[in-house]
Structure 1
């Protein structure tokens, strides 16, 4: 199991493609963009923390925002530079190394902050997660929006059940802690293709944000009940869905997006906050 920086260095193109290559990824993207369109100011400086290969930075720059993307992965930052240059958006985007736990910016610098896709999920220590959340609030102007999404624990457990492997014996341990780390995979003797991650419950996520002073306005499930389409045979069938069926999936996800139980079951849950 690689550490997060090594993992994302080695999966740069895959991370760029992740939000468009599958229905599951597109639902995460579409749900996130819906929240950004509703909650971003009309203009201003936006920080994209853990912005990776630049999907959101490109989207923001195309709409006239002044974007600063920070990411600890050199591979992701290099790919982001390429994607931004291809679209002639270099004047609108600054790319810097950075870690969500220690953001090198003055207090109240940004008019909005993004932390999307799970950067907080890759901070395994609970105290460091609180530090990271405080950093997101510190660099964002008072009253300005912060959009943060994390990976959901219940969804990961559903994947365990769907896989039906011998590792089911350890599912309760993951349910209790949420920590999918090197110690866990060593105990179950598993060669993981993913990286170290803390998977969240909805109440835990809200407590983390509220505990550092955020006003959590909304918690939504990005993939919602359609999270199950990321697993096994169901995932393999999504390419065969008709346009009518795809529209039905999207309507279902949209209809239940604000349902708290659905958010807790989603592969990614997104909180819309005020600093």
Structure 2
């Protein structure tokens, strides 16, 4: 179980494969286990590193101070710990905030930046959604908060098979490193304070942005406007996919991601 003493935490991370490093940064409520469909294809040519952000997975203490900026500092410290001079950085949703903060403060360490269903905007609607989920989790029947979350995450095709829904609920409840309610609230309270003002103009690295056509969390038009302000950006919309685009449409995500990583593999 690889861990690293970084700043004021013990960070858990997964590290597999060989080749140019790719660091995958999970979003809100998620950890290193959230990247399933992308891992095997990326391992063909890369070292894939998946950290557990503060308040998630096996990183401790669970209630350590957290923010996208602090998580970005942790990733940079992890790169130093692993003696990685440069890496590709991929962030999903809130993980995209972390990835962008890292690219803004240490662009010389970044070969490329990929944002999945993420843009430099923090909507109060999102706070309301996650706070409602916290309240449901606190007072509602077991699993109800997950059933309430899934329509926001997945394309409507996910719900065509009831057994798929039940399997996802059961797997989430059985996951031994699931985020606790206290850690979930702690992470949300930190997110409410985040203000990614003018972040797009601070990103001076090759950037791939993949948006989901049917994303209910990140509004497509507003995200597109902001992402287009990134100087070295390539933006694509994945059809028939929701916010968890790498689960809804992994083949399409990889069709953009793998050539992009290959294109920007040069450097130190």
**Shared fold per TM-score greater than 0.5:** no
Q: Give the shorter-chain TM-score range.
A: 0.3 to 0.5
If the length of structure 1 is used for normalisation, what is the TM-score?
0.35
Q: Which has the higher helix share?
A: 1
